[in-house]
């Protein structure tokens, strides 16, 4: 039986007994229990209420292609083509990277309810439990080589913040290169992976994970302070509406980036830059540098000022130093 059938019967408003669920599904109570345990192991927020049954810890709006498409303009829908909505996949980004050589479409989207091997930056994993968050990847093709893509991840960060603002979420900023933070905690992450030719046709797979609802268990397992939209906003946005705004903002940003590069985003980024003016520590292959964050250059590299002048970093780990 498809686990979605059982999930579809559960609600956050009413508790359903195991025997009522079994009767509705035509299976035994033991089979219901087994499925509930399997769904919980995937991260589904199912609570057991002593001697009364099961309910969802919070209402879940499942991803729905029609609702996502309803949030897009007809011209945007046309450009995205078929949006690939999955129940489960190892990683939405891995899926698009695998598909890139055989599907030449300019834009491709994959979105999933859960990821079994979600990936973060620098080889980290990205916890991707069922039914809580948004896991979305978008492939975009470019004509003029990977060198022209400097700063793309920062431009994408501004698009994510704009999509959140469209959904009524304010007070969100960016920590270079592209962590999306609210209240000093990580709300969303961006992973950009490039493929194709260094000097010719190439593609970027842009993977975005936004925390909508993190259980205490999941939040505790993340190796940095994390937050979710349910904490940041009185009412978290509907997932399908957020996915649609994210796609629309990404499309606009990618068009602008293809036409003018990161230079077109430098002012937007500066407005969202949470590091600027702070004492930071930058680690890269060359060692550790302590200095004051001084914005980014026209290619999106981080500028750090210290006694010796200003140095720029294309890639590094950055932490803010406690005062």
Residues that bind ligand BTN (CB under 6 A): 91-93, 115, 118-121, 124, 126, 135-137, 179, 189-191, 207-209
3-state secondary structure 217-280: HHHHHCCCCECCHHHHCCCCCCHHHHHHHHHHHHHHHHHHHHHHCHHHHHHHHHHHECCCCCEE
The answer to whether the beta carbons of residues 154 and 296 sit under 8 Å apart is yes
The answer to whether the beta carbons of residues 43 and 60 sit under 8 Å apart is no
DSSP 8-state class, residue 301? P
Q: Is 186 an active-site residue?
A: yes
For ligand BTN, the closer CB: 222 or 233: 222
Q: What angle do CA 211, 46, 232 make, to 5 degrees?
A: 25
Residue 12 CB, nearest approach to ligand BTN (Å): 24
Cα–Cα distance, 222 to 212 (Å, whole number): 15
Position closest to ligand BTN via CB: 189
Residue 95 CB, nearest approach to ligand BTN (Å): 8
For ligand BTN, the closer CB: 6 or 163: 163
Buried b / exposed e along 72-85 (16+ C-beta atoms within 10 A): beeebbebbeebbb
Q: Is 321 an active-site residue?
A: yes
Which of 106, 108, 102, 103 lies closest to 82, judged by CA? Answer: 108
- Selecting among 34, 98, 271, 321, the annotated active-site residue is 321
Helix H or strand E segment including 208: strand 202-210
For ligand BTN, the closer CB: 207 or 261: 207
Residue 65 CB, nearest approach to ligand BTN (Å): 18
The answer to whether the beta carbons of residues 256 and 264 sit under 8 Å apart is yes
For ligand BTN, the closer CB: 3 or 120: 120
Residue 88 CB, nearest approach to ligand BTN (Å): 12
Q: Is 77 an active-site residue?
A: no
Cα–Cα distance, 73 to 77 (Å, whole number): 6
For ligand BTN, the closer CB: 107 or 191: 191
Residue 92 CB, nearest approach to ligand BTN (Å): 4
Catalytic residues, by residue number, are 121, 186, 321
């Amino acid at each position: 039986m498809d686990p979605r059938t059982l999930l579809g019967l559960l609600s956050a408003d009413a508790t359903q007994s195991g025997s009522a669920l079994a009767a509705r599904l035509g299976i035994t109570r033991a089979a219901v229990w087994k499925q509930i345990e399997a769904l919980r192991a995937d991260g589904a927020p199912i609570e057991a209420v002593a001697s009364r049954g099961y309910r969802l810890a919070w209402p879940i709006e499942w991803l729905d292609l029609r609702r996502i498409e309803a949030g897009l303009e007809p011209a945007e829908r046309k450009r995205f083509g078929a949006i690939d909505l999955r129940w489960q996949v190892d990683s939405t980004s891995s899926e698009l990277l695998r598909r890139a050589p055989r599907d030449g479409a300019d834009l491709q989207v994959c979105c999933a309810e859960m990821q079994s091997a979600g990936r973060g930056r620098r080889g980290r994993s990205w916890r991707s439990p069922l039914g809580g968050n948004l896991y979305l990847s978008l492939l975009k093709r470019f004509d003029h080589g990977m060198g022209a893509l400097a700063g793309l991840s920062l431009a994408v960060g501004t698009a994510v913040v704009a999509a959140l603002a469209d959904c009524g979420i304010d007070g969100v900023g960016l920590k270079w290169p592209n962590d999306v933070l609210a209240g000093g905690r990580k709300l969303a992450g961006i992973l950009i992976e490039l493929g194709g030719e260094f000097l010719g046709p190439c593609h970027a797979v842009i993977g975005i994970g936004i925390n909508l609802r993190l259980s205490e268990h999941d939040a505790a397992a993340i190796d940095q302070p994390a937050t979710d939209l349910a904490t940041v906003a009185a009412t978290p946005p509907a997932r399908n509406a957020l996915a649609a705004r994210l796609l629309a903002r990404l499309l606009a940003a990618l068009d602008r980036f293809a036409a003018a590069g990161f230079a077109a985003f430098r002012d937007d980024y500066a407005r969202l830059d949470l590091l600027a003016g702070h004492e930071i520590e930058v680690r890269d292959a060359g060692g550790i540098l302590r200095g004051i964050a001084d914005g980014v250059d026209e290619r999106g590299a981080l500028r750090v000022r210290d006694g010796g002048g200003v140095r720029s970093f294309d890639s590094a780990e950055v932490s803010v130093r406690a005062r």
